[in-house]
Structure 1
Amino acid sequence: MSAAAERRPLGSRIGTYAIAFAIGVVYGTVATIGHRHALEVFGIAIPWGLVAGLVGVGALLIGIRLVAGGRGAATAAAAGVVATVAVLALPGPGGSVLVADGVVGTVWAIGPAIVSVLVVAWPSLPPRTVHRA
């Protein structure tokens, strides 16, 4: 936890984590619905929905980590995204699925978790100091 995050009151940190988790749930829902979009160019299907979804997960978590000042909020958002993808990958009551079998579905089922681990585990850079002559 960063020094700035340690100085904030517990209620403020819990609120930040709750909001980050909710944002992760919303993004995970929207990206899961859109991950199957593809553009066909010269007979080759380009899964732009999958690429946009994974890049979006990374951008969301990096942004939250930078704005919130630590790994805690990014971890909460990552938990929201990964939990939502996991729940929506299960068959619904009528047997319908949002994450179909195949390469795109498999990459979407595990991709957000891998991106989340990379973003949350990435080491923090030390603060820069200004040296004046």
Structure 2
Amino acid sequence: MSGGNAPVERDREPRTSISARVRTIAIAVVVGVVYGTVATVGHRHAWQIGDVSIPWGLLAGLVGVAALLIGIRMVAGGRVAAIGASAGVVAAVALLSLPGPGGSVLVASGIVGTIWSVAPALIAVLVVAWPSLPSRGAAVAQPRATHA
């Protein structure tokens, strides 16, 4: 037993340094740019069944954007990394929506191109703005009131 002035060490979340946060955000931005680029290239793929065209590339791209941003927000533990990945995805989609030097486009006009141009930004806003849920540890630590 030591003296009574020793600080009591409690379970705390480890604090991350500013350089670690900057690296996390930079990695999130790069991952967002890569995913946005790959999904923009593949968003036009579709299955043609008779007269019906099923845009599976668009659906896979949008589900992937949502999964990527939700996953980064959960793994990185906050909104800042998700904002970085969102910026990367939206920047890649916006840049690749512009006509190239020869006039060719990756995001053609039409319903699929319009949805692809707008939906990743809307998904990003939803994922970033979604309220944080209390962690399970915080819910377990709080005693429950019992009514007698």
Task: State the TM-score, normalized to the length of structure 1.
Answer: 0.92
Q: CA deviation at 1:67?
A: 0.3
| Partner Cα separation in structure 2 for residue 109 and residue 127 of structure 1 | 34
| Partner Cα separation in structure 1 for residue 54 and residue 133 of structure 2 | 35
Give the counterpart of 1:36 among 44, 47, 50.
Answer: 44
| Partner Cα separation in structure 1 for residue 72 and residue 134 of structure 2 | 18
Q: CA deviation at 1:76?
A: 0.1
Give the counterpart of 2:20 among 6, 9, 12.
Answer: 12
Asked which structure has the greater CA Rg, the reply is: 2
Q: CA deviation at 1:87?
A: 0.3
Considering Cα pairs closer than 8 Å and 6+ residues apart, tell me whether 1 or 2 has the greater RCO: 1
Q: CA deviation at 1:8?
A: 1.1
Secondary structure of the residue aligned to 1:40 is strand
Percent identity, please.
66
RMSD of aligned Cα (Å): 1.8
Task: State the TM-score, normalized to the length of structure 2.
Answer: 0.83
Give the 3 Å change call, closer, same or farther, for CA 121–4 of structure 1 in structure 2.
farther
| Partner Cα separation in structure 2 for residue 10 and residue 113 of structure 1 | 27
Secondary structure of the residue aligned to 1:45 is strand
1:119 alignment partner in structure 2: 127
Q: CA deviation at 1:41?
A: 1.8
Give the 3 Å change call, closer, same or farther, for CA 91–4 of structure 1 in structure 2.
farther
Unaligned runs of 5+ in 2: 1-11
Give the 3 Å change call, closer, same or farther, for CA 75–101 of structure 1 in structure 2.
same
1:77 alignment partner in structure 2: 85
Question: Is residue 2:60 matched to residue 1:52?
Answer: yes
Q: CA deviation at 1:74?
A: 0.4
